[in-house]
A and B are shown apart, each in its own frame.
Chain A
């Protein structure tokens, strides 16, 4: 960019002019903000206002635009200028809407607005216009791992959009678990029994597609690179390049031999998958293991599932109630008697409800009860929960509805943790980790990443992928999880998953080619770079990046892979020597904002509170607090951050040193039920802040001055309350002694 020229534009609309001295704001931008151009306008977001700004950009060389008016989340379409940086001073949602409209508040409200003008200009000065790195070409080819119904669907969906696919299947045939099904649970509602299994059609379509290359009996030797340029080699030596990956490696049945109370060794006590195969082999007849006809079949729901007993699965696998209804239908159709013993029958949706009813219509007996034991002879003992009595029924075959166990790869962090523990000399930890590593499954992707070979796992062995907010997304950019490796599910859900994940994979290829970020900062062109001369090879950034974006070179320097990066800034927050930055977001862009808040003298009794708010949840919540006119202290100055993980502790230390009286960090929920858009960002921030006490002690400051919060986007009342609480705390413990 040529010489920096700041243009500050102050809006008078939306009641701003009535509440604030706009002339003064214009002066502040000019005098303190060093804006070359500083203008006000009646109505900045209308065509005339936008034209005024565009005109200054075109004819007056303005290249750093500062909009003083509404929140950065409002009017984004109007304020969208090519080739310039954009900063926003939020004096609407962040000032006039949260302050009372009266004489006595006038002065502090104006001070708030003036500070936001100074801060926005300071940010403008410190940032540059990001440009695409051009690191990746457009690769219109994806790899799908797993040839079950999820993988097959993913392959077909991708091929239908014109993409090419490499489909990797470990076994010698396509179709996965579903290929062994006699019939299927219907996918649509309407009172009907099991429907035909049409997986053969899907397999034929995949095999017949010229865009899909099927690799049977194959596994992956190495996967390297980044979205747009993943290079893959298979065990048999085949090598190819793909733009993105869909992992759909499916599930296996829970090991029923662990359920000793159910006589798992008996030939006619079997799990659902085995029963299915038996019925398919006998073409619908219901046979005991010795080949004789079976009359009575009892289905035991939740066998080793939804149970906190050690070795059991704590979760519900979602499909098994419908599967038992389906299999009970087989029994009725063959003229036998079927009893389903359940504690809660879970047949979700209208489809499930209809299917349950179809089972009842067919005469399947449903008993609400809890099975305590099954004898080898097939006596099923259970407590009837409606009649409240112990009952025994005799069955020719007992089918156990055991759960789904994901076929995910090993936990990639175990090996890294072990290396660290070894370095730290923690022999006990090394031993525990060794034991855990020994029982891990073989790697699936064999990623050549600094952070391990496979997709990270959240809990119960399932690959991390947010159930509600961002399904398919994993912690490895460009690699999407679909099907039962991310949560238990049935066929309909797996097919939907495959479709969603494939579209995500295609989007990743296209974004990578343009140098743009994927979710959640989709479209962002900025990416982190580091100043090599300053780097001490401490490895904090390579360890803490939640997305495994950074590798290390031979000398231990970080190697960024822009397309793997989500632009969270966690690395920037981690770097102790502060050499990591984005063009438009850096230690400097935020640091300068903090420095440009005017700190009144101690005797004025106007404390200053710095709030660093996550732009995904906390900042929108604050905007909504403004929209609903919740009042909060005029002493706070709020700076949105990409993620709490991007907060470098230097900002905290600097703020405390320059006289701020209190600091609030507002990020998202962390842990297993995280809401953090960058998964680990908030957690890292909390970890780092747990060590801030030392700094406070050194400065001789009370630890109440710094608060780290987990908030949700719905905390519209809570956030103002937290701000006011901090203001009260400061009143109690007194002003900071660091005002100069």
Chain B
């Protein structure tokens, strides 16, 4: 993976903006930001991350490659779409956020132990198995994400909620034993394998 990072660095030496335009979903719109700050002001996460979208876009334009790629910002986006709804320039900000996250992951730049990145991986692994998220397993995985002791504590504190959900038929304890999936799980897994192959090929192209 780090080869790819080196290669990208060499290819777009002078301009991280060009790199983003070529490799990040909707990256070509970054240059259209007019720095009004409406997105940053609209974001419910604005107080919780390193750089709000407006600043992140300016950093891209100012060639701050390393700082952008290792930033926690895009991992904090909740996809609320507030910013997209309000951006006077019509930038697909949410999509760019996710595009940056994906690209950073490709280059192996995700900050160590970034919780939302971790959770995203868990969710993906869970989903891949049956084509549906198994909420019980995902929930438990989340509780135990930071070690066994904390997991037990968390699970106990959520006991009442869990029982309530079982009572109202919102949660089925039987799901723990495998759980139900979509009709053609094998077909889905084939599709995913294909997608992964394409992605790997894509990455390989830059490995040189």
Interface residues of A (CB under 8 A from B): 345, 356-357, 360-361, 363, 365-368, 384, 386-387, 391
Contact = CB atoms under 8 A, between A and B. Distances in A.
A366 B62 contact: no
A347 to B, nearest CB: 10
Contact of B58 (A356, A361, A387): A387
Contact of A365 (B61, B64, B89): B61
Contact of B61 (A345, A361, A367): A367
B62 A387 contact: yes
Contacts of A365: 31, 61
What are the 5 A-B residue pairs with the smallest beta carbon separation, nearest first?
A386-B58, A360-B32, A360-B31, A368-B35, A365-B61
A258 to B, nearest CB: 30
B62 A367 contact: yes
Given A367-B58, A387-B55, A387-B64, 7 more contacts: A360-B31, A365-B61, A366-B34, A367-B61, A368-B35, A387-B58, A387-B59
Interface of B: 31-32, 34-35, 54-55, 58-59, 61-62, 64, 89
Nearest to B28: A361
Chain B contact residues, majority secondary structure: helix
16 contacts: A357-B32, A360-B31, A360-B32, A360-B34, A361-B31, A366-B35, A367-B62, A368-B35, A368-B58, A384-B58, A384-B62, A386-B54, A386-B58, A387-B59, A387-B62, A387-B64
A345 B54 CA distance: 16
A368 B54 CA distance: 12
B89 A357 contact: yes
Given A386-B54, A386-B55, A387-B55, A361 B62 contact: no
Contacts of B32: 357, 360-361
A391 B62 contact: yes
Contacts of B35: 366, 368, 386
B34 A345 contact: yes
Chain A contact residues, majority secondary structure: mixed
Contacts of B58: 367-368, 384, 386-387
B43 to A, nearest CB: 16
Contact of A363 (B31, B55, B59, B64): B31
Nearest to B29: A360
A100 to B, nearest CB: 50
A357 B89 CA distance: 9
Nearest to B67: A387
A650 to B, nearest CB: 60
A350 to B, nearest CB: 13
A345 B36 CA distance: 10
Nearest to A368: B35
Nearest to B30: A360
Contacts of B55: 386-387
Contacts of B31: 360-361, 363, 365
A391 B89 CA distance: 27
A366 B64 CA distance: 15
Contacts of A366: 34-35
Contacts of B61: 365, 367
B54 to A, nearest CB: 7
B1 to A, nearest CB: 28
B16 to A, nearest CB: 12
B113 to A, nearest CB: 27
Contacts of B64: 387
Nearest to A384: B62
For A357, A365, A384, A386, which residue has the most chain B Cβ atoms within 10 angstroms? A386
B61 to A, nearest CB: 6
A365 B58 CA distance: 10
Contacts of B62: 367, 384, 387, 391
A469 to B, nearest CB: 31
A325 B61 CA distance: 17
A368 B34 CA distance: 9
Contacts of A356: 34
A361 B54 CA distance: 18
Nearest to A391: B62
A387 B52 CA distance: 11
A54 to B, nearest CB: 60
A360 B89 CA distance: 11
Contacts of B89: 357
Contacts of A391: 62
A217 B34 CA distance: 46
A200 to B, nearest CB: 35
A387 B60 CA distance: 11
A386 B59 CA distance: 9
A685 B55 CA distance: 55
Contacts of B54: 386
Contacts of A357: 32, 89
A337 to B, nearest CB: 9
Nearest to B61: A365
Contacts of A367: 58, 61-62
A343 to B, nearest CB: 11
Nearest to B62: A387
A356 B31 CA distance: 11
A386 B52 CA distance: 11
Contacts of A386: 35, 54-55, 58
A239 B58 CA distance: 62
Nearest to A342: B35
A381 to B, nearest CB: 15
A93 to B, nearest CB: 45
Nearest to A393: B62
A365 B18 CA distance: 12
Contacts of A387: 55, 58-59, 62, 64
Nearest to A389: B62
A360 B58 CA distance: 13
A88 to B, nearest CB: 52
A387 B58 CA distance: 8
Contacts of B59: 387
A361 B30 CA distance: 10
B153 to A, nearest CB: 41
A342 to B, nearest CB: 9
